[in-house]
Amino acid sequence: MTPALEPLRRIAAYAVCTDADGRVLLVRASSRSGTPGVWSLPGGAVDHGEDPNHTVVRETAAETGLSVAVTGLSDVLADMRSVPHRGVTIHTDRLLYRVSVRGGTLVDRVGHPTDLARWVDPAEAAKLKLRPFTAAALGVPAESADLRPEEAPDFPSFYAYPGPDGLHRAQRFAAYAIATDPYENILLTRIAPGYPGEGRWHLPGGGTDYGEQPGTALIRELVEETGQRGRIIELLGVASHRDAASLGPEGYPIDWHGVRAFYRVVVERPTEVRVGDVGGSTSEACWMALKEVGDLSPDSLTEVTAEALHAARLI
């Protein structure tokens, strides 16, 4: 349908905010946007190196005039849409946060990508033209206002580009598993030599493909990386880490920003662990007793692994 459009990826964060009357905070896209007249949750793109928690607070203030505080993570999802007038097809990984209002005054904006901000009753919201991710967050049916490509375009799993300081930059979204079996073991992988964090224990998972949902990517990665088949139980959180001069197999420093969703996964029928991606970033994988994981030194774990294990209350 849109074969000539350039594929792009981005990560974005949005606010799910309700008032005392149960109304939800929405913003309307202006004529400067790719979907004029369509309503969505307030939010926007995560800047390089920015924690998505900060993004949702910053973007909500800019689009609505309200200061909010993040109270929790609501959902993580992805979608594709084609924007012919910009010549692009965009894959967006969307992080949805529950927020509460700290203060401020609701304002409208002129000459910006969004022009109105309103508190809307859920019944009335269902009658509006909504972005698909917004309708999903509100639990209401909605006709899609997005133009979708017939199939996902080719896009590299790793993409670095020159930044304003001359250093290459890479921002990547990934999904990882706190995967346990019925015998109080947890599935861990070890980072291969030559990759950032080499030798440290890591969680199974990895970067999502263009057009792929995080949960689907996680189950795929679990099979490819360890040979295990699991079932997602719940979304535990999102970790954001930046390494301003990461050095990997590329052989040159990269200003790396990783945003990683981590999930609780159960593997009901564990099998012999096999690393399928031989020669990749994983050198080995194993089932480890939970009590042994608690005895591991902090410097033997990657940042996201330690954060996820704490969120799951396993260490």
Q: Is residue 270's pLDDT more than 60?
A: yes
Q: Is residue 256's pLDDT more than 70?
A: yes
CA atoms within 13 A on the CB side of 199: 4
Class of domain 6-138: alpha beta
Express as a percent the part of the chain with pLDDT over 90: 81
Phi and psi for 285 in degrees, rounded to 5?
-145, 150
The pLDDT tens digits of the residues spanning 288-297 come to 999 999 899 9
- Taking alpha carbons only, the member of 83, 91, 209, 95 closest to residue 146 is 83
- Report the C-alpha gap between 216 and 218 in whole angstroms: 5
Q: Is residue 144's pLDDT more than 50?
A: yes
pLDDT band per the 50, 70, 90 thresholds, residue 85: confident
The pLDDT tens digits of the residues spanning 213-231 come to 999 999 999 999 999 999 9
Q: Is residue 4's pLDDT more than 90?
A: no
In this structure, is the dihedral angle defined by the CA atoms of residues 72, 77, 83 and 87, taken in order, positive or negative? positive
The pLDDT tens digits of the residues spanning 164-186 come to 999 999 999 999 999 999 999 99
Strands 43-45 and 282-289 come out as unpaired
Average pLDDT over residues 283-290: 96
The pLDDT tens digits of the residues spanning 5-19 come to 899 999 999 999 999
pTM for this structure?
0.93
Q: Which residues are within 8 A (CB) of 297 and not within 5 positions of it... i.e. 6 or more apart?
A: none
Average pLDDT over residues 58-71: 98
- Report the C-alpha gap between 176 and 191 in whole angstroms: 14
- Report the C-alpha gap between 236 and 90 in whole angstroms: 26
**pLDDT given for residue 1 in this prediction:** 42
Question: What fold, for 170-311?
Answer: Nucleoside Triphosphate Pyrophosphohydrolase (3.90.79)
Q: Which ranges in the chain belong to alpha helices (H)?
A: 52-64, 122-125, 132-138, 214-226, 290-293, 303-311
In the chain, where the domains are located: 6-138, 170-311
The pLDDT tens digits of the residues spanning 192-221 come to 999 999 999 999 999 999 999 999 999 999
pLDDT band per the 50, 70, 90 thresholds, residue 2: very low
Q: Is residue 24's pLDDT more than 70?
A: yes
**pLDDT given for residue 83 in this prediction:** 84
Average pLDDT over residues 229-248: 96
Higher pLDDT, 143 or 58: 58
